[in-house]
Structure 1
Amino acid sequence: MKYKQLGKSDLRISTIGFGCMSLKADQKENERIIHEAVELGINFFDTADLYDKGMKEISVGKALQQKRQQVIIATKVGNQWRKDGSGWDWNPRKDYILTCVDQSLQRLQTDYIDLYQLHGGTINDPIEETIDAFETLQQQGKIRYYGISSIRPNVISKYVSLSNIVSVMMQYSLLDRRPEETCLPLLEEHNISVLVRGSVASGLLVNKPAKGYLNYNEDEVQKAAIAIQQLSTSNRSAAQTAIQFVLSNPAVTSAVVGIRTSEQLKEAVEAVSATQLTESQKEALANSIERNYYSDHRE
């Protein structure tokens, strides 16, 4: 496993992160695969209070309680479940964040959260109030660092200019290269780590039948999947090729992968040591379909 510095923080995280949203309801099985991940070198575990109404945090907390000093735990805040359980509403207010962190700490069975992330955000949010909440929690020692999870260029640039975020989690893959236009260069310039989700585009680049995705039609998705397959070998699977494509961008620190099985775990971990994509291979992938761009949230 390889490790990289998380932005301006003193945390070094594994280049493959464990996305805990995919964990099952079976606690024994969750503990087994999480412990296996730690043994294989993964030290970054990402969850959210939204996932399964906090149950994923509880599961992660139980699994990592005896390994707390070995790992870096990230979770997210900002989505408030309605009392009737019918869905959730966006709430980036300071008082809500200050309340939620204590609940997450309790569920995770820890005294501090390594990386606390805003789980979304709009340009119309009270952004300075939200930042103040995270700064307050940092001063209190409840969180070590904070970041955001967002794909909106205007929101990202606002936090870059106003806050001390160390990371941005965003969707990025061969089928979603929208971040390349402005977000990735901006974050790299400011030494803010990019945490990638969706590197295999919901499986469309690996093993799912082609269908429309974002602005791409079925034929274009098929072209991208074929390009991935053509560069896959006995020493590098399609999933590993897709993961390497996003990790090759210098702005990217870690690919956070949803993992359910030992096979998926090993394949993701081995993407780091598998035969690396050459510059010409990366260029071939990039040229397989026309690059897409963000059409909204630009200003």
Structure 2
Amino acid sequence: MTTEHSIASRQLGSTGLSVFPLALGCMGMSGMYGTTDDNESIATIHAALDYGVTLLDTGDFYGSGHNEMLIGRALQNRREKALLSVKFGALRTPDGGWGGVDGSPAAVKNFVTYSLTRLGVDHIDVYRLARLDPQVPIEDTIGAIADLVQAGYIRYIGLSEVGVDTIRRAHAVHPISDLQIEYSLISRTPESEIFPVLRELGIGVTAYGVLSRGLLSGSIPTGQGDFRTHLPRFSGENLAQNQRLVAQLTEIAAEKGILPGQLAIAWVLAKGENIVPVIGARKRTQLAESLAAVNVNLSSTDLNRIEAAISATAIAGSRYDQHQMQMLDSEK
């Protein structure tokens, strides 16, 4: 994959930000799914950029800074090819644990300072709070990011996993480019209330978890170090029931001569021109498989058949454990 492809870009809302239809999510390159290889990760980022992918998604807390430093290495002499989407706010502890969320204005400016240094760049293209801080009004957080936009350190402001009220309040302070939220064939909650508001306000969607962390592509947890072992959808009888659902997706994909993961990504692409799926490829082989989905065209008949075969209400288990679900403003 060394040639850029002429595939129509998508607009992230009405802010003017134009991106390749798929974004590369880099979280898995910093250990969330088990062991990783930095050289292969960098090669995967390079392959994505060479293909024409523009948006790279990361978080300053992925690998406690490792992910940003990795991307910084990958972007040496390639910065002009990439748009960087960075999440911030999640607090880490030395033993790898989590210490809550800080969206205070002082913390915002502190977080961005370190991100710019780790990434080796003079600005971040899209900056977003990873999870809503219940102790800080969203107006204060967005206002602090808006100051960074004015100063030239940030280009666009995004949101992550927040609900309708928070979206409206944030957008009233400063135009929002996109909401990053989990959305897939089996995680369709945003369709009912959140997506209509995004369309009303001219806000785009960067959809992560489009493969439900590999569930829709047939991947299962690999053991110690793979955080999916703690997710309800990958546990016990839940996993067995969900794999039966995935078998139906595999059957439909086989009829089209493609892989189930490609069909799952194509489904998300077909659900709206304002949606940009974030693919979490850690290897060049995974990247190549996912990129092929941009060439899969699904008719309304195809979509109806897929949704009839794999009902969102049939999935067993929530997308996060109970504690994490309670932290999601988007689920309230």
Same fold flag (TM > 0.5): yes
Instruction: Label 1:224 to 1:163 Cα distance change in 2 as closer, same or farther (>3 A).
Output: farther
Q: Please say if residues 184 and 212 of structure 2, whose CA atoms lie closer than 8 Å, have aligned partners that are also in contact.
A: yes
- Listed one character per residue, the Cα deviations across residues 21-52 of structure 1 (whole Å, up to 9, x for unaligned) are 11155433222221111111111101110101
Indicate the residue corresponding to 1:41 in structure 2: 52
SS of 1:271 mapped into structure 2: helix
Indicate the residue corresponding to 2:4 in structure 1: none
- Listed one character per residue, the Cα deviations across residues 78-134 of structure 1 (whole Å, up to 9, x for unaligned) are 112246654322100000001111110010000000111111115653211101111
Instruction: Label 1:162 to 1:59 Cα distance change in 2 as closer, same or farther (>3 A).
Output: same
State the 1:202 CA deviation.
Answer: 1.7
Q: Please say if residues 72 and 114 of structure 1, whose CA atoms lie closer than 8 Å, have aligned partners that are also in contact.
A: yes
State the alpha-carbon separation in 2 of the partners of residues 229 and 77 from structure 1: 36
Q: Please say if residues 243 and 255 of structure 1, whose CA atoms lie closer than 8 Å, have aligned partners that are also in contact.
A: yes
Indicate the residue corresponding to 1:8 in structure 2: 14
- Which sits farther off after the overlay, 216-225 or 265-274? 216-225
State the alpha-carbon separation in 2 of the partners of residues 111 and 218 from structure 1: 44
Q: Please say if residues 10 and 274 of structure 2, whose CA atoms lie closer than 8 Å, have aligned partners that are also in contact.
A: no
Which of 279, 304, 315 aligns to 1:283? It is 304
Q: Please say if residues 246 and 252 of structure 1, whose CA atoms lie closer than 8 Å, have aligned partners that are also in contact.
A: no
Correspondence 1:213 to 2:233: yes
- Listed one character per residue, the Cα deviations across residues 145-172 of structure 1 (whole Å, up to 9, x for unaligned) are 1111115444334334444211100000
State the alpha-carbon separation in 2 of the partners of residues 212 and 100 from structure 1: 31
Which of 230, 246, 252 aligns to 1:225? It is 246
Gaps of 5+ in 2: 1-6, 31-35, 222-230, 320-324
Q: Please say if residues 102 and 133 of structure 2, whose CA atoms lie closer than 8 Å, have aligned partners that are also in contact.
A: no
1:1-299 equivalent positions in 2, closer than 5 A = 1-23=7-29, 26-82=37-93, 86-122=97-133, 125-208=136-219, 213=233, 217=238, 221-222=242-243, 224-233=245-254, 235-250=257-272, 252-274=274-296, 276-292=297-313
SS of 2:111 mapped into structure 1: helix
Q: Letter of the 2:43 partner, please give it.
A: R
Q: Please say if residues 139 and 169 of structure 2, whose CA atoms lie closer than 8 Å, have aligned partners that are also in contact.
A: no
Q: Please say if residues 115 and 147 of structure 1, whose CA atoms lie closer than 8 Å, have aligned partners that are also in contact.
A: yes
Q: Letter of the 2:249 partner, please give it.
A: I
If the length of structure 2 is used for normalisation, what is the TM-score?
0.81
Count, aligned residues: 297
Gaps of 5+ in 1: none
Q: Letter of the 2:203 partner, please give it.
A: I
State the alpha-carbon separation in 2 of the partners of residues 212 and 68 from structure 1: 38
Q: Please say if residues 153 and 183 of structure 1, whose CA atoms lie closer than 8 Å, have aligned partners that are also in contact.
A: yes
- RMSD of aligned Cα (Å): 2.7
Instruction: Label 1:41 to 1:223 Cα distance change in 2 as closer, same or farther (>3 A).
Output: same
If the length of structure 1 is used for normalisation, what is the TM-score?
0.89
- Which sits farther off after the overlay, 226-235 or 278-287? 226-235
State the alpha-carbon separation in 1 of the partners of residues 94 and 182 from structure 2: 30
Instruction: Label 1:73 to 1:220 Cα distance change in 2 as closer, same or farther (>3 A).
Output: same
